[in-house]
Protein backbone atom coordinates (compact mmCIF):
# COMPACT_ATOMS: atom_id res chain seq x y z
CA UNK A 1 0.00 0.00 0.00
CA UNK A 2 1.21 3.49 -0.86
CA UNK A 3 2.56 5.27 2.23
CA UNK A 4 3.18 8.80 0.93
CA UNK A 5 1.50 10.90 -1.75
CA UNK A 6 3.48 13.96 -2.80
CA UNK A 7 0.91 16.53 -3.93
CA UNK A 8 3.41 19.22 -4.89
CA UNK A 9 3.69 20.78 -8.34
CA UNK A 10 6.67 20.58 -10.68
CA UNK A 11 9.60 22.73 -9.58
CA UNK A 12 8.76 22.63 -5.88
CA UNK A 13 11.60 20.33 -4.81
CA UNK A 14 9.90 17.06 -5.67
CA UNK A 15 13.03 15.52 -7.20
CA UNK A 16 15.02 16.31 -4.06
CA UNK A 17 12.24 14.79 -1.96
CA UNK A 18 12.25 11.68 -4.17
CA UNK A 19 15.99 11.31 -3.60
CA UNK A 20 15.45 11.69 0.15
CA UNK A 21 12.80 8.96 0.19
CA UNK A 22 14.97 6.66 -1.90
CA UNK A 23 17.87 7.15 0.51
CA UNK A 24 15.55 5.76 3.21
CA UNK A 25 14.91 2.61 1.19
CA UNK A 26 11.41 3.49 0.00
CA UNK A 27 10.17 2.51 -3.46
CA UNK A 28 9.47 5.80 -5.23
CA UNK A 29 7.60 6.20 -8.50
CA UNK A 30 8.59 9.54 -10.01
CA UNK A 31 8.76 10.60 -13.68
CA UNK A 32 11.20 7.86 -14.83
CA UNK A 33 9.13 5.06 -13.30
CA UNK A 34 5.88 6.56 -14.60
CA UNK A 35 7.23 6.56 -18.16
CA UNK A 36 8.68 3.06 -17.89
CA UNK A 37 6.18 1.16 -15.76
CA UNK A 38 2.96 3.21 -15.45
CA UNK A 39 2.82 4.82 -18.89
CA UNK A 40 0.15 2.64 -20.47
CA UNK A 41 -1.91 2.62 -17.26
CA UNK A 42 -2.01 6.41 -17.13
CA UNK A 43 -2.67 6.66 -20.88
CA UNK A 44 -5.65 4.31 -20.51
CA UNK A 45 -6.95 6.32 -17.55
CA UNK A 46 -6.64 9.67 -19.32
CA UNK A 47 -8.44 8.13 -22.32
CA UNK A 48 -11.30 7.06 -20.06
CA UNK A 49 -10.70 3.35 -20.49
CA UNK A 50 -10.04 2.58 -16.80
CA UNK A 51 -10.79 4.17 -13.42
CA UNK A 52 -8.52 5.85 -10.88
CA UNK A 53 -9.04 2.74 -8.74
CA UNK A 54 -7.48 0.69 -11.54
CA UNK A 55 -4.50 3.06 -11.54
CA UNK A 56 -4.19 2.64 -7.78
CA UNK A 57 -4.31 -1.14 -8.16
CA UNK A 58 -1.37 -0.98 -10.57
CA UNK A 59 0.66 1.08 -8.10
CA UNK A 60 -0.09 -1.55 -5.46
CA UNK A 61 0.80 -4.39 -7.84
CA UNK A 62 4.20 -2.75 -8.28
CA UNK A 63 4.69 -2.33 -4.50
CA UNK A 64 5.06 1.46 -4.68
CA UNK A 65 5.64 3.32 -1.40
CA UNK A 66 5.72 6.91 -2.65
CA UNK A 67 3.90 8.63 -5.54
CA UNK A 68 5.61 11.76 -6.91
CA UNK A 69 5.20 14.00 -9.98
CA UNK A 70 2.52 14.18 -12.65
CA UNK A 71 -0.01 13.01 -13.31
CA UNK A 72 -0.21 11.36 -9.88
CA UNK A 73 0.08 14.51 -7.79
CA UNK A 74 -2.97 16.00 -9.54
CA UNK A 75 -5.09 13.13 -8.21
CA UNK A 76 -3.79 13.29 -4.65
CA UNK A 77 -7.31 13.49 -3.18
CA UNK A 78 -8.59 10.48 -5.10
CA UNK A 79 -5.55 8.48 -4.04
CA UNK A 80 -5.94 9.62 -0.44
CA UNK A 81 -9.52 8.38 -0.49
CA UNK A 82 -8.28 5.00 -1.74
CA UNK A 83 -5.38 4.90 0.76
CA UNK A 84 -6.74 6.82 3.80
CA UNK A 85 -3.71 5.91 5.92
CA UNK A 86 -1.29 7.39 3.41
CA UNK A 87 0.32 10.70 4.35
CA UNK A 88 0.20 13.67 1.98
CA UNK A 89 3.10 16.08 1.44
CA UNK A 90 2.56 19.40 -0.32
CA UNK A 91 5.91 20.76 -1.48
CA UNK A 92 6.02 24.49 -2.16
CA UNK A 93 8.48 27.29 -2.85
CA UNK A 94 9.14 30.46 -0.87
CA UNK A 95 6.77 32.39 -3.12
CA UNK A 96 4.72 32.06 -6.29
CA UNK A 97 7.12 34.40 -8.08
CA UNK A 98 10.06 32.13 -7.29
CA UNK A 99 8.08 29.10 -8.49
CA UNK A 100 7.19 30.82 -11.77
CA UNK A 101 10.77 31.83 -12.50
CA UNK A 102 11.91 28.28 -11.85
CA UNK A 103 9.12 26.71 -13.93
CA UNK A 104 9.69 29.09 -16.84
CA UNK A 105 13.43 28.44 -16.81
CA UNK A 106 12.90 24.69 -16.65
CA UNK A 107 10.46 24.52 -19.56
CA UNK A 108 12.59 26.86 -21.70
CA UNK A 109 15.59 24.62 -21.05
CA UNK A 110 13.57 21.42 -21.45
CA UNK A 111 12.56 22.48 -24.93
CA UNK A 112 16.26 22.52 -25.90
CA UNK A 113 16.80 18.96 -24.63
CA UNK A 114 17.40 16.82 -27.73
CA UNK A 115 14.43 14.40 -27.43
CA UNK A 116 12.11 17.41 -27.12
CA UNK A 117 13.85 19.70 -29.58
CA UNK A 118 13.90 16.96 -32.22
CA UNK A 119 10.65 15.42 -31.00
CA UNK A 120 9.22 15.24 -34.51
CA UNK A 121 11.91 12.65 -35.25
CA UNK A 122 11.19 10.67 -32.09
CA UNK A 123 7.42 10.95 -32.19
CA UNK A 124 6.88 9.77 -35.75
CA UNK A 125 9.44 6.96 -35.76
CA UNK A 126 8.81 5.56 -32.27
CA UNK A 127 5.33 4.24 -31.38
CA UNK A 128 6.19 4.56 -27.69
CA UNK A 129 7.22 8.21 -28.03
CA UNK A 130 4.16 9.07 -30.11
CA UNK A 131 1.65 7.37 -27.82
CA UNK A 132 3.30 9.03 -24.82
CA UNK A 133 3.14 12.49 -26.39
CA UNK A 134 -0.48 12.21 -27.52
CA UNK A 135 -1.87 10.06 -24.72
CA UNK A 136 0.10 11.24 -21.69
CA UNK A 137 2.17 14.41 -22.13
CA UNK A 138 -0.37 16.63 -23.87
CA UNK A 139 -3.42 15.65 -21.76
CA UNK A 140 -1.32 15.89 -18.59
CA UNK A 141 0.01 19.37 -19.35
CA UNK A 142 -3.42 20.69 -20.30
CA UNK A 143 -4.93 19.18 -17.17
CA UNK A 144 -2.28 20.50 -14.79
CA UNK A 145 -1.13 23.78 -16.33
CA UNK A 146 -4.18 24.74 -18.37
CA UNK A 147 -2.12 25.31 -21.52
CA UNK A 148 0.36 23.64 -23.86
CA UNK A 149 2.26 26.86 -24.41
CA UNK A 150 5.19 25.82 -22.26
CA UNK A 151 6.10 22.88 -24.46
CA UNK A 152 8.29 22.73 -27.60
CA UNK A 153 6.38 23.68 -30.76
CA UNK A 154 3.65 25.39 -28.72
CA UNK A 155 6.11 27.30 -26.52
CA UNK A 156 5.12 30.91 -25.77
CA UNK A 157 6.37 31.42 -22.23
CA UNK A 158 6.96 35.15 -22.68
CA UNK A 159 3.25 35.61 -23.26
CA UNK A 160 1.83 37.19 -20.06
CA UNK A 161 -1.39 35.19 -20.39
CA UNK A 162 0.60 31.94 -20.17
CA UNK A 163 2.19 33.12 -16.94
CA UNK A 164 -1.23 34.07 -15.54
CA UNK A 165 -2.79 30.74 -16.49
CA UNK A 166 0.02 28.65 -15.02
CA UNK A 167 0.24 30.71 -11.84
CA UNK A 168 -3.52 30.54 -11.34
CA UNK A 169 -3.43 26.74 -11.61
CA UNK A 170 -0.45 26.49 -9.26
CA UNK A 171 -1.97 28.72 -6.58
CA UNK A 172 -5.40 27.11 -6.83
CA UNK A 173 -3.90 23.65 -6.44
CA UNK A 174 -1.88 24.60 -3.37
CA UNK A 175 -4.85 26.38 -1.78
CA UNK A 176 -7.05 23.34 -2.37
CA UNK A 177 -4.58 20.94 -0.79
CA UNK A 178 -4.16 23.24 2.22
CA UNK A 179 -7.93 23.49 2.65
CA UNK A 180 -8.05 19.71 3.16
CA UNK A 181 -4.99 19.47 5.41
CA UNK A 182 -5.11 17.64 8.72
CA UNK A 183 -2.60 15.72 10.85
CA UNK A 184 -1.82 13.43 7.91
CA UNK A 185 -0.61 16.37 5.80
CA UNK A 186 2.73 18.13 5.72
CA UNK A 187 3.22 21.51 4.04
CA UNK A 188 6.90 21.36 3.23
CA UNK A 189 9.69 23.44 1.73
CA UNK A 190 12.78 21.32 1.01
CA UNK A 191 14.90 24.18 2.39
CA UNK A 192 13.62 23.13 5.81
CA UNK A 193 15.78 20.02 5.56
CA UNK A 194 15.29 16.66 7.23
CA UNK A 195 13.77 17.93 10.49
CA UNK A 196 10.07 18.40 9.56
CA UNK A 197 10.18 15.44 7.18
CA UNK A 198 11.61 13.02 9.76
CA UNK A 199 9.14 14.21 12.39
CA UNK A 200 6.26 13.73 9.95
CA UNK A 201 7.49 10.24 9.07
CA UNK A 202 8.02 9.33 12.71
CA UNK A 203 11.70 8.45 12.30
CA UNK A 204 14.84 9.73 14.08
CA UNK A 205 16.07 13.07 12.81
CA UNK A 206 18.75 12.89 10.14
CA UNK A 207 21.60 15.39 10.16
CA UNK A 208 22.47 17.58 7.19
CA UNK A 209 20.51 18.78 4.16
CA UNK A 210 18.37 16.53 2.02
CA UNK A 211 19.73 15.74 -1.48
CA UNK A 212 19.44 18.64 -3.94
CA UNK A 213 18.31 17.57 -7.41
CA UNK A 214 17.10 19.24 -10.62
CA UNK A 215 18.31 22.82 -10.20
CA UNK A 216 17.79 23.45 -13.96
CA UNK A 217 19.42 26.87 -13.85
CA UNK A 218 21.05 26.45 -17.27
CA UNK A 219 20.41 24.45 -20.43
CA UNK A 220 23.25 22.13 -19.50
CA UNK A 221 21.81 21.57 -16.02
CA UNK A 222 18.47 20.56 -17.50
CA UNK A 223 20.02 18.45 -20.26
CA UNK A 224 22.18 16.52 -17.81
CA UNK A 225 19.27 16.08 -15.42
CA UNK A 226 16.90 14.86 -18.13
CA UNK A 227 19.54 12.56 -19.63
CA UNK A 228 20.11 11.01 -16.22
CA UNK A 229 16.44 10.72 -15.34
CA UNK A 230 14.92 9.69 -18.67
CA UNK A 231 17.68 7.61 -20.29
CA UNK A 232 15.86 4.23 -19.96
CA UNK A 233 12.71 5.63 -21.59
CA UNK A 234 14.67 7.44 -24.30
CA UNK A 235 16.69 4.29 -25.03
CA UNK A 236 13.45 2.37 -25.47
CA UNK A 237 12.29 4.96 -28.01
CA UNK A 238 15.67 4.87 -29.79
CA UNK A 239 15.42 1.10 -30.26
CA UNK A 240 12.06 1.57 -31.94
CA UNK A 241 13.51 4.32 -34.14
CA UNK A 242 16.35 2.03 -35.25
CA UNK A 243 13.85 -0.71 -36.05
CA UNK A 244 11.62 1.72 -37.96
CA UNK A 245 14.53 3.15 -39.95
CA UNK A 246 15.82 -0.35 -40.73
CA UNK A 247 12.36 -1.37 -41.93
CA UNK A 248 12.18 1.75 -44.12
CA UNK A 249 15.60 1.09 -45.64
CA UNK A 250 14.78 -2.58 -46.29
CA UNK A 251 11.45 -1.53 -47.79
CA UNK A 252 13.11 0.99 -50.10
CA UNK A 253 15.70 -1.54 -51.19
CA UNK A 254 12.99 -4.09 -51.81
CA UNK A 255 10.98 -1.54 -53.78
CA UNK A 256 14.04 -0.66 -55.84
CA UNK A 257 14.74 -4.30 -56.61
CA UNK A 258 11.10 -4.84 -57.56
CA UNK A 259 11.07 -1.81 -59.86
CA UNK A 260 14.33 -2.89 -61.48
CA UNK A 261 12.90 -6.39 -62.01
CA UNK A 262 9.73 -5.01 -63.61
CA UNK A 263 11.61 -2.62 -65.86
CA UNK A 264 14.02 -5.37 -66.94
CA UNK A 265 11.20 -7.72 -67.95
CA UNK A 266 9.24 -5.04 -69.76
CA UNK A 267 12.11 -4.16 -72.10
pLDDT at 221: 57
Question: Please, what's the largest Cα pairwise distance for the chain?
Answer: 87
DSSP letter, residue 93:
-
Fold for domain 4-266? Answer: Rossmann fold (3.40.50)
End-to-end, the C-alpha distance of the chain in Å comes to 73
Residue 13 CA to residue 212 CA, distance in Å, equals 8
pLDDT at 196: 95
pLDDT at 138: 93
Peptide bond into 71 cis (omega under 30): yes
Residue 89 CA to residue 93 CA, distance in Å, equals 13
Residue 158 CA to residue 191 CA, distance in Å, equals 28
Residue 182: CB atoms within 10 A of its CB come to 6
Q: What angle do CA 155, 157, 160 make, to 5 degrees?
A: 135
Sheet holding 185-188, edge to edge: 28-29, 66-67, 4-6, 87-91, 185-188
For residue 93, count CB atoms less than 10 angstroms from its CB and return exposed for 0-12, middle for 13-18, buried for 19 or more. Answer: buried
- Give the bridge partners for 188, in sequence order: 91
Of 64, 63, 28, 66, nearest to 229 (Cα)? 28
Q: Cβ neighbours of residue 88 under 8 Å, at least 6 residues apart?
A: 4, 5, 6, 7, 76, 80, 177, 181, 184, 185, 186
pLDDT at 172: 97
Residue 101 CA to residue 50 CA, distance in Å, equals 36
Q: Within the chain, where are the H helices? A: 14-23, 31-37, 39-46, 52-61, 76-82, 96-110, 114-117, 119-125, 127-132, 138-145, 160-179, 194-201, 219-266
Residue 133 CA to residue 43 CA, distance in Å, equals 10
pLDDT at 12: 95
| Total residues found in the chain within this entry | 267
Every domain of the chain and the residues it spans: 4-266
Element holding 91 (H helix, E strand): strand 87-91
pLDDT at 247: 73
Per-residue pLDDT of the chain (267 residues; tens, 9 = 90+): 899 999 999 999 999 999 999 999 999 999 989 999 999 999 999 999 999 999 999 999 999 999 999 999 999 999 999 999 999 999 999 999 999 999 999 888 887 766 666 666 667 778 888 899 899 999 999 999 999 998 888 889 999 999 999 999 999 999 999 999 899 999 999 999 999 999 999 999 998 888 876 555 555 556 666 666 677 777 777 787 778 778 777 777 777 676 766 766 666
Amino acid sequence: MVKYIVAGYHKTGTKSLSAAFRSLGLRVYDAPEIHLYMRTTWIDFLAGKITIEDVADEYENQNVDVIVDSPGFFFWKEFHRIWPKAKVILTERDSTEIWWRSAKSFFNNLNQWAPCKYGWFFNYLSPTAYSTLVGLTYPMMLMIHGTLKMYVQHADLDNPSVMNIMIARYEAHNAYVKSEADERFLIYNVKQGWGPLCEFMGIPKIAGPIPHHNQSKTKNDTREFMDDMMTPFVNQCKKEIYITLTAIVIGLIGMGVAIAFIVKHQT
